[in-house]
Amino acid sequence: MLHFKTIIEPFRIKSVEAVKFTHREDRVAALAEAGYNVFQLRAEDVLIDLLTDSGTGAMSASQWGALLQGDESYAGSRSFFRFRDVVQELTGFRHVIPTHQGRAAERILFQTVLKPGDVVPNNNHFDTTRANVEVEDAEARDLVIPEGRVPSAIHPFKGNVDLAALERTLATDGKRVPLVMVTVTNNTGGGQPVSLENLRGVRALCDRYRKPFFLDACRFAENAYFVKKREAGQSGRTPREIAREMFSLADGCTMSAKKDGLANIGGFLALNDDDWAERCRNLLILTEGFPTYGGLAGYDLEAVARGLEEVLEEPYLRYRIRSTEYLHERLVAAGVPCLQPAGGHAVYIDARELLPHVPPLQYPGIALVNALYVEAGIRGVEIGTVMFGRQPDGSEEPGAMDLVRLAIPRRVYTQSHVDYVAEAVIGVAGMKDRLCGYRIVRAPAVLRHFTATFEPIPA
Ligand code: F0G
């Protein structure tokens, strides 16, 4: 009997989309036109788009088929009940409130429950989560374990919450904490998982201080697979069993179905508290839509319902986690400084370490992102000083890290695409001394990374 080491893509391809090859000089011009901000490029000028794993996945034939089953009734549509049943079966939460994507769920939850001066603890808030807390004049407090702040530190559950720090926050500022959040996997900290043991610890503290506990569950399936592979006593369980235990420890969740919902749009807020649910639904009607569609078409609800089931299939998760790890392995073997260990949905390059001659306030992450685009047509994203360096008072400080994230869309690229990416990153790292820093020309006050324009600072 043969024993195979190769982990193949667990699908075959039924429909393809051509990618456009461009010349280096076209990319130099396109980037200048975009104000040196890759968010402002036209996607068709990108060869391999690793900007995000959000909404960029390929749906299965079964999901496309489900679109035709969509019931577009305004109220009480069959597709809603199918969606609700799948979410309830997975999460166990009593109330399921569909939203058009994750940040709408965050906004509705935070606008409903936060007051000015409140504090929301989390391992790390993602950018939109932080912004939705801060817009309510509340504080988004990051309490990841110390290893989670050091790119080179190796830890199996680097997304874990520092339970002692959470306890201090609850003991000191408890009156101002309306809920505790934990992000699985921890995107801002490098796509790193949170262990079941740590989630149980958060639950115990929330019980002691009588606080509701919410998961930011965008990548719950990837987290469940890491638990299966890395946590003692979990290897014999299915990802679904582990995911259900994760949700059973919480009182609610916000979810972007654009990640582990395997859909191109969609999300939800799910929770147990009747009073909060009623107030959230009222806000939903005002801004998203009636509670049985919440800003989505019936066919979107169908696609998400199937996606939430497919995402927990083990061959899929094995391939998903392994293909990200494969890219990470190749970069590390070539000496490219990467956040350790590989994340679930992305590889994070440590741009501050790679480009020590570019100070944080000249944005080493932007320097690397822009070089990857010019040299290879690859689009990554800076997760660093541009994304997180602007302080609420308008001043600027270096972000905790300067990373470049290469996020892998689900079921979209093959191994040869990934091999090309590895070759490109290694090639660009080889020309690091020639990369220069940038200064901001124009930037809005919040979420500036999306629309800021830059200019290169000649060396
Ligand atoms: N929470 C986390 C951990 C996320 O990564 C995201 C989105 C959201 C919430 C918001 O969800 O986009 O559906 O509104 N992350 C994407 C990314 C955009 O590129 O990492 P959304």
Contact 67, 302 (CB under 8 A): yes
Position 400 scores a pLDDT of: 86
Beta-ladder partners of 141: 121
Q: What is the mean pLDDT of residues 4-29?
A: 94
Position 355 scores a pLDDT of: 98
Instruction: Report which DSSP code applies to 149.
Output: G
Mean per-residue pLDDT of the chain: 96
**Rounded CA Rg of the chain:** 21
447 touches ligand 1 (CB under 6 Å): no
Contact 266, 98 (CB under 8 A): yes
- The pTM assigned to this predicted structure is 0.96
Could you tell me what percent of the chain has a pLDDT over 90? 94
Q: What is the mean pLDDT of residues 309-328?
A: 97
Ligand 1 pocket test, pick from 39, 49, 259, 450 with the greatest ligand atom count within 8 Å of Cβ, gives: 259
63 touches ligand 1 (CB under 6 Å): no
Ligand 1 pocket test, pick from 253, 256, 264 with the greatest ligand atom count within 8 Å of Cβ, gives: 256
Could you tell me what percent of the chain has a pLDDT over 70? 100
* C-alpha torsion sign, points 67, 278, 268, 94: negative
> Phi-psi bin for 363: left (phi > 0), alpha (psi -120 to 50), beta?
left
Contact 4, 318 (CB under 8 A): no
| 343, HSE (Cβ side, Cα atoms, 13 Å) | 27
CA of 102 to the centre of ligand 1 (A): 6
Please, which pLDDT band fits residue 459 given cuts at 50, 70 and 90?
Answer: confident
Please, which pLDDT band fits residue 445 given cuts at 50, 70 and 90?
Answer: confident
* Ligand 1, atom 2: closest residue by C-alpha: 126
* Ligand 1, atom 19: closest residue by C-alpha: 52
Closest CA to 412 of 403, 404, 421: 421
Contact 300, 341 (CB under 8 A): no
Please, which pLDDT band fits residue 34 given cuts at 50, 70 and 90?
Answer: very high
Residues across the chain: 459
Q: What is the mean pLDDT of residues 98-123?
A: 98
231 touches ligand 1 (CB under 6 Å): no
Q: Which token pair is 187?
A: 């995107």
56 touches ligand 1 (CB under 6 Å): no
Ligand 1 pocket test, pick from 49, 100, 103 with the greatest ligand atom count within 8 Å of Cβ, gives: 103
CA of 442 to the centre of ligand 1 (A): 24
Please, which pLDDT band fits residue 360 given cuts at 50, 70 and 90?
Answer: very high
Position 391 scores a pLDDT of: 85
* Ligand 1, atom 11: closest residue by C-alpha: 102
CA-to-CA distance for 321 and 185, rounded, in angstroms? 12
Residue 130, amino acid: R
CA-to-CA distance for 62 and 281, rounded, in angstroms? 30
Closest CA to 194 of 212, 181, 204: 181
CA of 308 to the centre of ligand 1 (A): 16
CA of 357 to the centre of ligand 1 (A): 31
Q: Which token pair is 456?
A: 């290169």
Does 295 score more than 90 pLDDT?
yes
Q: What is the mean pLDDT of residues 119-139?
A: 95
